[in-house]
Chains A and B, each alone.
Chain A
Amino acid sequence: MSSDSGAGSGVIHDIGFRHYEGPRLGRGYLIRSLYADSLRGCYGLGRSTKSKIMPFLLLLVMTAPAVIMAVVAGVLGLDELPLDYVSYIFALSSAITIFLAAQAPATVSRDLRFRTMPLYLSRPLTRNDYVLAKYGAMSTALFILIAVPQTALFIGALLAKMEFWPNAKGWAAGLLGAFLLSLVLSGIGLLIASITPRRGFGVAAVITVLLLLTLVSGVLSALSYENDQAALSAYFALLNPVSLVQGVLVWTVNAESTYPEPPPGTLGGLVFTAVMLLVIAGSYALLAARYRKVSAS
């Protein structure tokens, strides 16, 4: 071949392929694409039919009771919904948890398992951008899962000719709850899922941790309540991510609590809010730290 080019003059031979002269779209575009693709992946869009079943089944489980409630309210001519907006979220929190457990590992484990990470990192995309895109996608997916039934409730309430403002307020509170809950849960879920490249184990790990926290917090709370430590009992709700968000909502938008005791007073509300922000920031920071260690080759 052309070995007469002399030593030390290494070149990449131009063998006549056409050059790319279009625009280079850069980091922002990469983040947006990864975000959109991961979000679609959470609902199985762009993937096989089999992987669409589970997310849409859970979306149905979340939405069907809202539609039924709205129809019943319309037929019977009720003045208000049988279950208010924020309580609806927490009544169905196990479906939300299962969605997270099913989709968080699907969002991050595959890239680790099939060693796709080096391909992402060989682009201008930084590790932090990857975490940002995945966190954003997972939270948006959860937000959609919670916000769709909330909106169904709202539309149903308006069609049943209920008063506009109370319902609009309830709907806004529900969306705030959806926003906070999806940020808290997806942070925790992705963090656990990113530790293991195995999807099946990731699913079990996410659900185990969340259930364990729920049960431990419930047992400790009941135990301290029986021993006349009501304030302590309320603070044990901090251990459970779902009741943590519920505590914040009880304080901020006067939501009803299904948990034994709402957080006590302004101090309690501030503590719950601070812990919630800490959980969100902490899981993001830990995720970023986890991806700093992922090998780029």
Chain B
Amino acid sequence: MNATVAGLTWHSLVGRRRAVLLFVLPAVLLALALLVRLVSGQSAGAAADLLGSFSLGFLIPLLCLIAGTGAIGPEIDDGSIVYLLAKPLNRYVIAVSKWVVALGVIVIFGVLPTLAAGFIMAGSDSNLATGYAAGALLAGIAYATVFLLLAVLTRNAVVIGLLYALVWEAAIGGYVPGAQALSIQQWALAVTQKMVGDQASGLGIESAVGLGAGVTLLVVVTVAGLAYTGYRLRSIRINGDE
């Protein structure tokens, strides 16, 4: 973890126009949560629906895609990564610093708004808010790692990440149950399901994987992804734009 690298990454993520998107997404979530609360009152069912589809299904993957690829992608794109790599810094330290900043962005703009939206809609009813926030945090950690790695591996990181999050997890996962076993969203949902407890199935919170498998896979993906990102940074090839 290197403070200077982290600071530079933070500025490149939050200091530019892309920050608008970062603010708009949680703002819309909170606005919808307020509206649901005003129209249907305190309701665990509505909260589970909105948090499941909007927060865990859309906000977290998209935010991780923006933060994870944005932490390193633009630098690789315009070639300025060489100035960073030329410094006497361990490449693993660079990878971890960027990952920590991406995670910070995800917590501020994704996890905390999820928690707040949960409390707005369901109060402290059946751990919904904390359950979904925990799920969002775990999913965020894994997504951020995967998307950071993708950004190091390929220039098409954003499109490939979108294909994974939208086509694999949402569309194919909807028709082919087996595809759900390889879905970060489902792994994190296992934790949410456990935290919500007995009411989970009544609220439609059902993960395709068990708790043990989910947590194990999340940890494996995160550690392995981060290690491989650092490893790839040791010998990265800088191409010109096509």
The residues of A with any CB-CB pair to B shorter than 8 Å are: 47-48, 50-51, 54, 61, 94-95, 98, 101-102, 110, 114, 195-196, 198-201, 203-205, 207-208, 211-212, 215-216, 219-220, 223, 226-227
- Bits for B23-44, please: 1 = Cβ < 8 Å to A, else 0: 0110010001001100110000
Q: Is the interface of A mostly helix, strand, loop or mixed?
A: helix
Top-3 shortest CB links A-B: A203-B158, A48-B242, A200-B158
Q: Give the distance to chain B from A129, nearest Cβ to Cβ, in Å.
A: 26
Instruction: Tell me if B's interface is mostly helix, strand, loop or mixed.
Output: helix
In the complex, besides A201-B66, A216-B32, 19 extra interface pairs with C-beta distance below 8 angstroms are A98-B159, A98-B163, A101-B159, A102-B159, A110-B241, A114-B241, A200-B69, A200-B77, A200-B158, A201-B18, A201-B74, A203-B158, A204-B66, A215-B53, A219-B50, A219-B54, A220-B35, A226-B40, A227-B40
CB <8 Å contact, A227 and B17:
no
* Contact residues in A for B70 (Cβ distance below 8 Å): 200-201, 204
List B contacts of A204 (CB < 8 A).
Answer: 21, 62, 65-66, 69-70, 158, 162
The CA-CA distance from A203 to B74 in the complex, in Å, is 13
Instruction: List the interface of chain B (C-beta within 8 A of A).
Output: 17-18, 21, 24-25, 28, 32, 35-36, 39-40, 50, 53-54, 58, 62, 65-66, 69-70, 73-74, 77, 155-159, 162-163, 166-167, 170-171, 241-242
Q: Which residues of A contact B159 (CB under 8 A)?
A: 54, 98, 101-102, 203
List the B residue with the shortest CB-CB distance to A224.
B39
Chain B residues within 8 Å of A219, by CB: 32, 36, 50, 53-54
Contact among B21, B32, B54, B73 with A205 in the assembled complex (CB-CB below 8 Å): B21
What's the nearest-Cβ distance from chain A to residue B143, in Å?
A: 13
Across-interface contacts of B241 in A (CB, < 8 A): 110, 114
A6 to B: closest C-beta gap in Å: 48
A-B contact pairs, 11 of them (CB 8 A): A50-B242, A51-B242, A98-B159, A195-B17, A198-B77, A200-B70, A200-B77, A200-B155, A203-B158, A207-B166, A212-B25
